[in-house]
Amino acid sequence: MMKTQPAKTIAIAAVSLFVAAWIPACGGKQGDAKSPGSLSTSEPSGPAGTPVTTDQGIQVGISDAPSSSDAPMAERPKMNDAAKEPYLQALSAFGRGELAEAKKLFLDAISKDPKAYQAHYSLGVILERLGDADALARYRQAFTIVTDYEPAITAYGLLLARKGNAAEADHFLTERHAKMPKSAAVAAALAEIKSMQRETESARKLAQEALKANPNYAPAMITLARDHFRNRRLDLAKYALQAILDGFGPNNPPRDKDNVEARLLRALIYKEEGARALAIGELESVLQKRPDMVDAGVQLATYYLESGNAAKAQPLLERALAYNRDNLVAHLNLGDVHRLMGRPAEAKREFDWVLAKDASLIHVHYNIGLLFLFSDNYPGKTPVQQVDAAIASFEKYKELRGRSVDPRGSDVEQLIIRAKAKKAMVEAESKQPSGPASPTSATPAASAAPAASQ
């Protein structure tokens, strides 16, 4: 039996996965989202569905409507009344960034209705953000219950790729594409995988196939724009984004002017071009509509940190970590927020967390050097030990940085000279009789670290 009308249910909308994963990152290679030193802040994704806005104005849901009006729709079980209350409470918890609570409530909904496929999918999104390996199983359960459930199918394929299994993802989505030839969502997701593997021609054909099935399917247009971006065809990427966000006059209006993934991608292009104000405007627009977009929050916080506004960066980074607790860039930059705001112990805690996750991340060593050099009376260290620790961290940064042309940290030689001079001054003062402090013994003013970005 087939239904012609979409069910009126919603599930959590996953966020863009492969936008920032292809930006050149400190310690990693362009296009290598899994490289050990990567500062990518990629997160769970699935290019499916239409965003649904909650009464708080936070878009956290997607509808069950198929991506193409011509696609047949399998029968879908209706969620029972007992499961609805915890399910809707879970969506609200997600909107507040309370992922542990959302997980608990989705599990409660599933216990009351094991066939609540939307809850299985939404739980998969939560688990993926929490780094739980069970996310794939939850996505699979959703499209086992409803065989053509596009959000779960595309999220499953893209998560396989995120885990480094691009070939398996390609095979899975190719099989699904053969079974669902009219699905714009599956074609667009497969196009994304092809683009990731640098198969640009195949990606283009699949994205165009998706647009043939649904001329207004924005995720396919975004895939085309991302492919241009990955291959450094920035003008073509901006042209594709203009079609989505701005259109080309009254006879060719924008396809989806509020699309947050398109705005995030355009912000990243503006960033590469040095158009700071334009990039900030796009990032602010993204976060106004979707506070759960971690990439946007980290990028905007980076801009604030670069201008020395730690207080404005802090809530953005804390919210990003609420939605992705293992985000290296957010932890690194939050550590620098604490350093600049005079909280050395909290700063060191964040830097130590980053070191434990990835000691090859070069800018954590630079930031630790700044922490020890400019903090007054770091707990547990004498002044000489503190300066020695600063010098060691700067030297480690130099060793890892090598001959990088990255302008961030280009002042490290001057900082080492400054630290050695401070050490000599501290040692000299320790040999002098106690008395009023010399005006020349004051600690130099704190320096702002070059904020890390993906």
Instruction: Indicate whether 144 pLDDT > 60.
Output: yes
User: Rounded CA gap, 242 and 58, in Å?
Assistant: 24
**In the prediction, which pLDDT does 75 show?**
80
* pLDDT band, very low/low/confident/very high, at 24 (cuts 50, 70, 90): very low
- 140-178 in b/e form (b: 16+ CB < 10 A) is ebbbebbebbbbbbbbbbbbbbbeeebeebbebbeebbe
55 vs 61, higher pLDDT: 61
Per residue in 60-82, pLDDT (tens digit) is: 456 677 788 776 777 889 999 99
**pTM for the full predicted model:** 0.79
59-63 and 51-53 as β-strands: parallel, antiparallel, unpaired? antiparallel
Q: Kindly report the length of the chain.
A: 454
* pLDDT band, very low/low/confident/very high, at 449 (cuts 50, 70, 90): low
Domains observed in the chain: 10-21+40-292 (1.25.40.10), 313-441 (1.25.40.10)
Per residue in 99-131, pLDDT (tens digit) is: 999 999 999 999 999 999 999 999 999 999 999
- Nearest CA-CA partner of 7 in 48, 66, 58: 66
Instruction: Indicate whether 2 pLDDT > 50.
Output: no
**In the prediction, which pLDDT does 55 show?**
33
Mean pLDDT for 8-34 is 34
Residue-by-residue DSSP string for 393-410: HHHHHHHHHTT----TTT
Per residue in 180-198, pLDDT (tens digit) is: 999 999 999 999 999 999 9
3-class secondary structure per residue, 263-300: HHHHHHHHHHCCCHHHHHHHHHHHHHHCCCCHHHHHHH
